[in-house]
Amino acid sequence: MLLALRGLPAIAYRLNQPLWVFYVLLIGGGIAALIIRGRWKRILPSEEAAPDPDHLDTPAARRGAKIWLIGFVFHAVPLLAALGVVIYFVVFHRHGSTTGFVVAIVFAIGWNILWQPLWRGLVLPLFHNA
């Protein structure tokens, strides 16, 4: 974290971007990590806990929690990337072409429709075969 805070001004200078963009990305990433950590603790049973009827088999619960988290990331990361592209074009390219903006919006809508069939048909069987 300290390395990132010390390096961000140099990165911003080299990429000719305002420093606040990188701080927003750093703080947003930290908030996302805390949210994922909180969700992970809630769905994952601890080893020392008393037997819970919903999580009787701890290794199976861990495996299910990992698959759920990977599915969440599979769905959310491309949407967040598209949102980042939209924000980038809105903030930095106010007078330019809107092609990137339109492509990001169309991708986000398409990904929201197609991610479940892709997840169930292509990615999830890989976890069940392993």
Is 22's pLDDT higher than 80? no
State pLDDT tens for residues 52-109: 555 556 777 778 888 888 888 888 888 888 888 777 777 776 666 677 777 788 888 8
The predicted pLDDT at position 56 comes to 56
Give the dihedral sign, CA 23/29/33/36.
positive
The predicted pLDDT at position 28 comes to 77
Q: For the chain, what is the total number of helices (H) and then of strands (E)?
A: 5, 0
State pLDDT tens for residues 43-55: 665 555 555 555 5
